[in-house]
Amino acid sequence: MRDECAQVVVVGAGLGGLSAAVFLAQQGIGVLGISKHRGTSPHPKAAGQTHRTMELLRRAGVADEVLAGSAGVAGGLVIKVAESLRGRVFHTIVHEDDELDTGLSPERHGMSGQDHVEPVLLRRARELGADVRFETELVSFEQDDDGVTALVRDRPSGREWTVRADYLVAADGHRGAVREALGIARQGRGPLSHHIGVVFDADLADHLVQDRFTLFYLRNQAFTGVLAATNTERRNVFTVEYDPARESLADYPPQRCAELLRIATDVPDLEPDIVEVTAWEMAAWVSDRFRSGRVFLVGDAAKVTPPTGGLGGNTAIGDGHDIAWKLAAVLKGEAGPGLLDSYEAERRPYAELVVDGSFANYVQRFAPHLAGPDVPEPIDPLRLVLGYRCRSGAVLVEDDDPAPMEDPAQPSGRPGFRAPHVTVEHDGAVKSTVDLFRGWTLLTLNPDWAAADVTAPPALDVPVVRDTTGELAKRYGIGEEGASLIRPDGVVAWLDPERPTDATAQVTAALTAVLSR
């Protein structure tokens, strides 16, 4: 047995785990990532990246590489509830001419699948110095007041050793052993349905909308399921509901899958190449806690959401970024340990909104027979993605508005909300405010605020910007006199709309409070 040390051990190398590794390594934190699997996911699932996710990937320096995976389906999105590809349409959720890019972000909406995004994140994590190892599993772990000791095993050889770390991030999925070992229960509607997933190759170009990610929820007399294109030429995905009490995966040989595909596509002579057939469960769960001592749950380890809404993978990336910048701040001595309390306080309510909204979509698209007063109201996806309000000790909220979201097209700039995208002039170039937020940033048009001298870490950037459109003063609620303190994740931490009386003292006090120092 040999021993190793790392500042953070990340268990799992999916979207959540790799995101955590990327953003920790980007901030100089020593990361060991382990995964029991042989490599990244080969499955074209979790397709689609929201504007918020793309902004985070932009900070990681991989936005363009991720977007490259959208080739062939980058033109937008089409979602229909129908009998089959050419059959009766019951409901169109996203029309062919609907515009996804609303001008609220400098980034485009992505359409890449998990099989493309994970390798991009893996390469970036290793490039930044993270040590990510596959076929390496967590055997057990113990934590104490000073850190976590993990026993890990190399699966091919069986060799075991210990790793001592300050913190552990559990990104090991919905069946992850870490959450179970911690005794953290889950609440929710639980299993919703069971599905046979079929990855197949066939030329459906004449049956799908060109250059758009096409998704059909199918309600057919023969089955209930989904058919979707992918960013890979001829590669498509089909799922069909089944009852595990009456059938199993063995009851879906390639011949039967091909017959179902002919019905789904309205192509009687279709001869699909069946690549893979798997069984999976659609469920809705939220863990009771996202943290236990020095261990944090991210992604599907923290919540399991129906894919009806496309936010499972996006939320995992958001979790990974959120815990990463907060752990980095504590490990670098910029923040007190109390900052870590804000992870669950901010991410768990968001997970509940995501799961509720996705369940409402599930009922509408898959199971209208479940409609009733106990089904949550549908949630506007733009409000959920760009208008959510973080509430914790890491933001200084002074108003008493209880609303969890606001319209991002009419941003208020109040603490807790995402700092809105506004085009400004900075360093002689026209750019988005989103690109100014690499660390802690004080955004102001008043030179009195710009004179704030904050000597204690973290470093505070006060960019000199020109508000050529007048939008910055309005959308940030700072006018010509005030200032807005922006966190490294692009969330407003504190706002003062007035001219400062003592800029240094006021900004220092705000930083001290939100960083739990």
In a domain, 76, yes or no: no
Contacts of 460 (CB under 8 A, 6+ apart): 439, 440, 441, 442, 452, 454, 507, 511
Look-up of token digits 């089955």 = 223
Give me 238's structure tokens. Answer: 């089909």
* Closest to 42 measured CA to CA, from 124, 121, 118: 118
Q: Are residues 442 and 505 in the same domain?
A: yes
Strand segments (E) across 38-157: 77-82, 89-94, 131-133, 136-143, 148-154
**pLDDT for 454:** 85
**pLDDT for 443:** 97
Q: Are residues 142 and 22 in the same domain?
A: yes
Q: Are residues 224 and 317 in the same domain?
A: no
In a domain, 99, yes or no: no
**pLDDT for 246:** 96
In a domain, 92, yes or no: no
Give me 283's structure tokens. Answer: 């469920």
Residue after which a domain boundary falls, among 283, 305, 340: 283
Question: Is 242 a catalytic site residue?
Answer: no
Residue after which a domain boundary falls, among 381, 411, 446: 381
230, 44 in Cβ contact below 8 A? yes
**pLDDT for 1:** 57
In a domain, 97, yes or no: no
Contacts 24+ apart (CB under 8 A), 70-75: 70/110, 70/111, 70/112, 70/213, 70/231, 71/231, 72/211, 72/231, 72/232, 72/233, 73/111, 73/211, 73/212, 73/213, 73/214, 73/229, 73/230, 73/231, 74/108, 74/111, 74/211, 75/210, 75/211, 75/212
- DSSP per-residue letters across 198-219: EEEE---GGGS-TTBEEEEEEE
In a domain, 95, yes or no: no
Q: Are residues 229 and 305 in the same domain?
A: no
Residue after which a domain boundary falls, among 283, 301, 328: 283
In a domain, 87, yes or no: no
166, 333 in Cβ contact below 8 A? no
The residue range of the domain holding 470 is: 387-514
Q: Are residues 21 and 119 in the same domain?
A: yes
CATH number, residue 249: 3.30.9.10
Q: Are residues 261 and 208 in the same domain?
A: yes
Give me 245's structure tokens. Answer: 């009490």
Count of the separate structural domains present in the chain: 3
365, 81 in Cβ contact below 8 A? yes
CATH number, residue 403: 3.40.30.120
**pLDDT for 72:** 78
Q: Are residues 199 and 279 in the same domain?
A: yes
Q: Are residues 314 and 461 in the same domain?
A: no
* Closest to 388 measured CA to CA, from 351, 360, 435: 351
**pLDDT for 45:** 87
Residue type at position 465: V
* Closest to 172 measured CA to CA, from 294, 9, 376, 369: 9
**pLDDT for 364:** 92
Which is the catalytic residue, given 167, 217, 242, 350?
217
In a domain, 85, yes or no: no
In a domain, 84, yes or no: no
What per-residue string of b and e applies to 255-281 under the rule 16 or more CB within 10 Å gives b?
eebbebbbbbbebeebebebbebeeee
Q: Are residues 310 and 367 in the same domain?
A: yes
Q: Are residues 160 and 210 in the same domain?
A: no
Contacts of 327 (CB under 8 A, 6+ apart): 8, 24, 29, 167, 169, 296, 340
Look-up of token digits 């993990």 = 150
CATH number, residue 158: 3.50.50.60
The CA distance from 405 to 391, in Å, is 11
Q: Are residues 461 and 496 in the same domain?
A: yes
Give me 404's structure tokens. Answer: 């969890």
Mean pLDDT for back-to-back runs of 10 residues, the chain (517 residues): 89 98 98 97 90 97 94 83 94 79 89 94 98 98 97 97 98 95 96 96 85 89 92 89 96 97 95 96 97 98 95 97 98 97 98 97 91 92 96 96 96 97 95 95 95 86 93 96 97 97 95 96
45 torsion bin: left (phi>0), alpha (psi -120 to 50), beta (else):
beta
471, 422 in Cβ contact below 8 A? yes
Q: Are residues 270 and 321 in the same domain?
A: no
**pLDDT for 2:** 65
